[in-house]
Amino acid sequence: MTPSDPLSLAEHPIPTLSDPDWAAIANLPIVEEGGRLHPTSLGRAGMATWPIYHALGVPGAVAECFVREPVYRGLLAASNMLPEGVGLVVLDGWRPMAVQRALFERLHTLMAERFPEYSNDRLYQKTRAFVAPPSDDPAAPSPHLTGGAVDVALCDECGLILDMGSAFDEVCSASYTDHFETHLDAEDAMLYRARRRVLFHAMASAGFVNLPSEWWHYSLGDQLWAWRTGARAAQFGPTSPYTIEQRWAASLV
């Protein structure tokens, strides 16, 4: 059982999770429950938003973090479980297809340059451990295209993001969520372990599942979530923010 007492979150180890079976995940049906995307910047105290890809200048990245309503409510619930003086920061939610493609292709290129001895299959697998392949297939979309995947971190009472032992999107073994459960030789390893435990158990208590290769990535309602929880179907397929054109079209009756 996931702990719900904020004072005990850091006392419980992060379980070792199996790597996702992406073929099985892609074959899970999606029963779209609808619902628009909501900006996480609406969140009350205890939850902040910092659209990191937009801040880093990634072309096409939006200046907001959009998520489905159950995800939004889950984030608020997780933030309420955090110890006093610790807050939740949303770094990314819904992602445009162009951004998903750019991130995957750029990392794949860098991997190929860094590891020329890798086979094409190994390069692909190493890349997808940190960036999902771009897909807007209604039956098997990239998680961030659904509004059901979110990237989060912890911050202190001043809003400064806490050091989690590796940076967001850092492609290294230390980014695996349970890394510091077994690797305690690094300086401040116990601190990083405690912070990751707090984040993991708060998010899990709110209904999210984690991508084990990324301490920051959590899902609720997408195919990864359905596979990890044993749900018969995912709740969210590919979507996009509601536009003014859609509002006008709906009102012109």
Beta bridge partners of 219: 149, 209
Residues 53, 215: Cα–Cα separation, whole Å: 17
Beta bridge partners of 154: 88
Is 157 considered catalytic here?
A: no
Annotated ligand binding at 185? The verdict is no
What amino acid occupies position 191? L
Annotated ligand binding at 217? The verdict is yes
Identify which of 253, 226, 251, 240 has the alpha carbon closest to the alpha carbon of residue 25. Answer: 226
Annotated ligand binding at 188? The verdict is no
Q: Which of 181, 187, 214, 245 is catalytic?
A: 214
The binding site consists of 144, 151, 217
User: Which of the residues are catalytic?
Assistant: 214
The binding site for Zn(2+) consists of 144, 151, 217
